[in-house]
Structure 1
Amino acid sequence: MSKSTTAQQRRDADFVGIMEGLEQAVAHAEGKPEGAAVRVHAPVAVDVAAIRKAQKLSQEGFAMAYGLSIATIRDWEQHRREPDTGSRLFLKVIQREPDAVRRALAEA
């Protein structure tokens, strides 16, 4: 097999992979979960105070509503600690769908 054939096969395989990724992205955007799993990326940082204030909650109210420690909320807001990956994802869901999170936690 020549070098040009191998290079062409790699390009063809790369193209197929890119197209599959694009098709999965479109399916995901359209709400069709039938495709392969889509990788979720956690935000690098979240503004905990802004998320809380948008819901018009005190630190204590926010902590109680979402099963978090008030000390943790204070530490995050005062940047003594940063939320870990799971917490950043949870906070992002709270930011986008607070009612859904509250319903899910009420059923727990």
Structure 2
Amino acid sequence: MKSAFDKIKAGLRDAEAYLDGERSGFVTHEVVVAEPDVRAIRARTGLSQDAFARSIGVAPSTLRNWEQGRRRPQGPARVLLALLDQQPGIIQERLGAVRR
């Protein structure tokens, strides 16, 4: 039986091989999320810019940049916004009320 260390070491070797271009034997998953309409998503939550920014863990200035089109959400923020687009109340339902 492999130890936890051996399993982690093997996983790191696999990751290194994948990064070096080896693709056989690996399963990958890519999440493709459409460009979110951040202002519309926030409006459906009923939260102010400051409260919405706090609820998703970003600075209010970041949210304003997204809403005004100066920047685009990337990575996990984009996925979270897609989730909020589908279920606007999910953060409040799962994590509790957000100060308005």
Calculate the TM-score normalised by the size of structure 2.
0.56
Q: 1:61 aligns with which of 47, 51, 59?
A: 51
Counterpart for residue 51 of structure 1: 41
Query: How much is the aligned-residue C-alpha RMSD, in angstroms?
Result: 2.4
Counterpart for residue 9 of structure 1: none
In the alignment, is the contact (CA less than 8 A) between 2:38 and 2:66 conserved in 1?
A: yes
- Give matches, 1:86-97, under 5 Å: 86-97=76-87
Greater relative CO (CA pairs within 8 A, separation 6+): 2
In the alignment, is the contact (CA less than 8 A) between 2:53 and 2:63 conserved in 1?
A: yes
Counterpart for residue 66 of structure 2: 76
Give, in whole Å, the separation in 2 of the partners of 1:100 and 1:40: 23
Rg comparison, structure with higher value: 1
SS in 2 for 1:63: helix
Give, in whole Å, the separation in 2 of the partners of 1:80 and 1:99: 26
User: Identity of paired residues, percent?
Assistant: 33
In the alignment, is the contact (CA less than 8 A) between 1:93 and 1:101 conserved in 2?
A: no
How far apart are residue 56 of structure 1 and its match? 1.4
Calculate the TM-score normalised by the size of structure 1.
0.53
- Alignment length (residue pairs): 70
Which protein is richer in helix relative to its size? 1
**Deviation string for 1:30-79 (max 9, x for gaps)?**
xxxxxxx9945332300000000011111111112222210110010111
For structure 1, the residue ranges without an aligned partner over 5 or more in a row are 1-36
For structure 2, the residue ranges without an aligned partner over 5 or more in a row are 1-26
